[in-house]
Structure 1
């Protein structure tokens, strides 16, 4: 199994969207050269994982066909693997893309659909990399159409319980699973902040918890700031997630979040380089 320790100290996952339409950085890094340069900057700033995505999952985002997604992500993965000693996560929900990504050397699969798409469970079962299962109500096209819950945390836990069982039945070891409660994916503004407050309720699974709050509308709508002005709010939210048990922080602003992680480690673990 790939060695990827995310539990002894918080790990920053740098977001690299090689898409024309992602909500924050769409169109900025959708060439190999710009993508590689951005990845290098994030690695130098402290990212432990680069999360590459070739299909936007912002609310209402259009679907992308397999060949288009492959053409966007695989060359970037291969280039990064050839130039840097880095861990790469592939943000996809398609079995074919997962399979090609594994061949190219990815270290993590990050699936917002939690292996619900055809063939994905089988592909992951035949691999040895960690898989991040995210909770989402609906699809990216429908998820923000009046999401409702009987009980937010309990409903997400039921979802995770079912997914963990499904993975076990498919031959995917529980030790390979990460959990992402899905901030912004089928949640109201109030839901998102309840989720942040109660994030520690998922620690009982004894699995790595990924928190992806960076630059999302839960930051912008609360603070009334546009996407490019959400760095400070995002770092504050990420820091609060750390205090609630998050292990992996999926962020756009790596250098600033690394400062927060350093302060958190000094406070909670006594990790200080003098």
Structure 2
């Protein structure tokens, strides 16, 4: 797998995605996020969680104010901005880690970038009018994600003929759209959107054949952490999916993923660093030489 422009400057950090995996910590300022159930909805707790994640080794913090799930009440643009901008402002002042805003709205992305965010993490695939323009004019990195309906939209019994081929075709089309809109190739990341309008069999197939997604050539992010396809595969409730998450993330890295979006930063960092060492990408931290 060859990554287009593997060495990239994102915000204040540089990554060599030919031999490096970035760990992205999830910080949701939502009362109904599927895993943390509002644990970081309060501003001070969200900022604290971001700082803890960076201290634990996260390279990146992803701040969201509106969940993807369909069974939630909608919020206005102003409320979403009020949720994410204070967090971004606070953590920008204390870390050089990459900061992304998880939003599908151009106005929210613009406000977040002005507050210090480096990346737009768009689970709507740049379909909101104005989003591509905001990304192009700001020079921000953008994560282009596959979903059928987008955040807050119900898709009953999603169906695919070949889920991997269809996701890959969507991502190629959206990348072409981004390039035509003036977003530079070195600012594009792709995400196949595990569990976003996909059932367990779709997400397993995407993971098994992830190399067909990474072959598109752009750094690939996967957001597998504690998702339902892991819970349904193992028969595990929401809070008992750590081992399944680690296994899925390692498989994804071996298939070419270079950014992992996670809830449990310490376990993800350990798994990533071990995988990088086994692949020969980094040296052991504290080797003992038997002479």
Match of 2:285 in 1: 273
- Mapped contact 2:33–2:67 kept (Cα < 8 A): yes
Match of 2:260 in 1: 249
Q: Out of 117, 135, 141, which is 1:124 matched to?
A: 135
Q: Out of 116, 128, 144, which is 1:105 matched to?
A: 116
- Mapped contact 1:12–1:251 kept (Cα < 8 A): yes
What is the 5 A alignment of 1:42-121? Answer: 42-121=53-132
Query: What RMSD in Å do the two structures reach over aligned CA positions?
Result: 1.5
Match of 2:15 in 1: 5
2:193 pairs with 1:182:
yes
- Mapped contact 2:172–2:216 kept (Cα < 8 A): no
Q: Which has the higher helix share?
A: 1
Change (3 A) 1:158 1:143: farther
Match of 1:199 in 2: 210
Structure 1: which 5+ residue stretches go unaligned?
Answer: none
**Cα offset for 1:144?**
4.6
**Cα offset for 1:183?**
0.2
Question: What are the superposed Cα offsets for residues 170-196 of structure 1, whole Å, 9 maximum, x if unpaired?
Answer: 111122110000000111211110100
Write the distance in 1 (CA, Å) between the matches of 2:280 and 2:209: 22
**Cα offset for 1:204?**
2.0
What is the 5 A alignment of 1:203-218? Answer: 203-218=214-229
TM-score, scaled relative to structure 1: 0.95
2:146 pairs with 1:135:
yes
Q: Secondary structure at the match of 1:5?
A: strand
Question: What are the superposed Cα offsets for residues 149-189 of structure 1, whole Å, 9 maximum, x if unpaired?
Answer: 12211111211121111111111112211000000011121
**Cα offset for 1:232?**
1.5
Change (3 A) 1:270 1:197: same
> How many residues are paired up?
274
Write the distance in 2 (CA, Å) between the matches of 1:59 and 1:240: 29
Change (3 A) 1:134 1:11: same
**Cα offset for 1:59?**
4.2
Write the distance in 2 (CA, Å) between the matches of 1:253 and 1:238: 12
Structure 2: which 5+ residue stretches go unaligned?
Answer: 1-8, 287-291
Match of 2:5 in 1: none
